[in-house]
Amino acid sequence: MRRRTAAAAVAVALGVKLAVDALPDAAVAFGFMRPAARLAAIYLGAAFDIPMMTISARGVTITVVRACSATDFFSMAFALLGFAMPIRQLALRIPIAIVSAWIVAVFANAVRLVLLVYADGFFPASQIPAVHMSIGIAVFLPVFALLWYTFVVKASCKRSFRQDLQDSQDLRKDDHHGDALAKR
């Protein structure tokens, strides 16, 4: 059963990724790049040029491009949340998972952009692509792990605990029922 669920989650993530990749650049800019860049600019107290999608702060100018829009992270977060959220009605779970994954992706990407601005002064220009990738991993991996822990590990522990509690109550009922029968 778990293998089928995992396979379905991967299929959903790939499907969402393909759907997001098919969006026009303007939609990705409006939905993913602009909100994250705006949040980063607000945090940095920086100028944000909307048409150019650039953040200028601390003598550094960063251009936010589609490849750095966090859409891949959004796809993975949506697949995880879509399967793991404790909402039974699919009609509610999917929109809530979409909005939740979008919020998490935008905020995580904003953190990544802020860290890129701060890191720019510490590394030579030749190392910036590797630094960019490393910062992305350092931000998105722990966020995904936190989502996994919250919605999969912790939730399954709660379900397991509830099941154990229910089983122990059922055993007690059986014991009391057996005691009552023995007294007769």
pLDDT per position as a tens digit, 153-171: 877 666 655 565 566 666 6
pTM of the entire predicted model: 0.78
Q: What is the dihedral of CA 26, 31, 33, 34, to 10 degrees?
A: 90
CA 66 to chain centre: 18
Question: Which of 77-81, 95-99, 100-104, 146-150 shows the highest mean pLDDT?
Answer: 100-104
Using CA atoms, how far apart are residues 85 and 122, in angstroms rounded to an integer? 40
Helix (H, G, I), strand (E, B) or coil at 62: strand
Tokens of 141: 């991996």
Angle, vertex CA 48, rays to CA 127 and CA 103, nearest 5: 85
Using CA atoms, how far apart are residues 177 and 175, in angstroms rounded to an integer? 5
What is the C-alpha radius of gyration for the chain, rounded to an integer number of angstroms? Answer: 23
Helix (H, G, I), strand (E, B) or coil at 53: coil
- In which band, very low, low, confident or very high, does the pLDDT at 16 lie, cut at 50, 70 and 90? confident
Q: Are 84 and 149 in contact (CB under 8 A)?
A: no
